Structure 1
């Protein structure tokens, strides 16, 4: 999923994507964490035990997309900011409202 998502961001003229098109399992919420977000802040938002896999608190080249599955487990994707910045429209993304805007650098 991470590879496909980063590939989509590389495409010229891509200004949005439907996140659900990239998720092959039942999910209920997704969150985008921007550079310099601390692990403590991510845990508060997610409400789950979570270990930051990419050290977001010191990174300025990545965003982290965390998808919460129906069974309260999660999957994450590291998004390379060279290709674009993801923008969620609300507090979180849901299967019913899964369009993410992309801003290119």
Structure 2
């Protein structure tokens, strides 16, 4: 029993440590909020808003289940925003060298967002569709 408890604690420690390197980018959230608020803007360009290294980004729509997020990312990632129960945000997750490095919660603000293909530094546009 003691061996199981120690193993469980070690497992939880390792999972917690791996998630602790992931940064919640609130500056990016604030900037995208301003862009969406400007009715003249129709695209969010991620490369102009990011100052960190990233190779891929994924945009998850409201109500996306945890299993689908991990499947698309192809890495273990515990969604910190509980997106599967929310309709007020999109979740934007950035990967670099096969690891999640940052994420942002993008408020809907009477808008939906869409992408064309995979998000990369050279294909970085998120379309704003207001309603």
TM-score (normalizing by structure 2): 0.73
For the pair shown, the structure with the greater C-alpha radius of gyration is 2
Q: Which residue of 2 aligns with 1:34?
A: 61
Higher relative contact order (Cα pairs below 8 Å, separated by 6+ residues): 1
Question: What aligned pairs does 1:1-105 form with structure 2 within 5 A after superposition?
Answer: 1-70=28-97, 72-90=99-117, 92-105=118-131
Deviations 1:11-41 (A, max 9, x none): 1121112111111011100111001101111
Q: Secondary structure at the match of 1:5?
A: helix
| TM-score, normalised with respect to structure 1 | 0.90
Gaps of 5+ in 2: 1-27
Task: Report the CA distance between 1:68 and its aligned residue.
Answer: 1.0
Q: Separation in 1 of the partners of 2:126 and 2:108?
A: 15
Q: Which has the higher helix share?
A: 2
Q: Distance in 1 between matches of 2:122 and 2:37?
A: 25
How many residues are matched? 104
Secondary structure of 2:99 counterpart: coil
Question: After the TM superposition, which of the residue ranges 26-35 and 2-11 deviates more from structure 2?
Answer: 2-11
- What is the CA RMSD across the aligned residues, in angstroms? 1.4
Is the Cα contact below 8 Å between 1:10 and 1:83 reproduced in 2? no
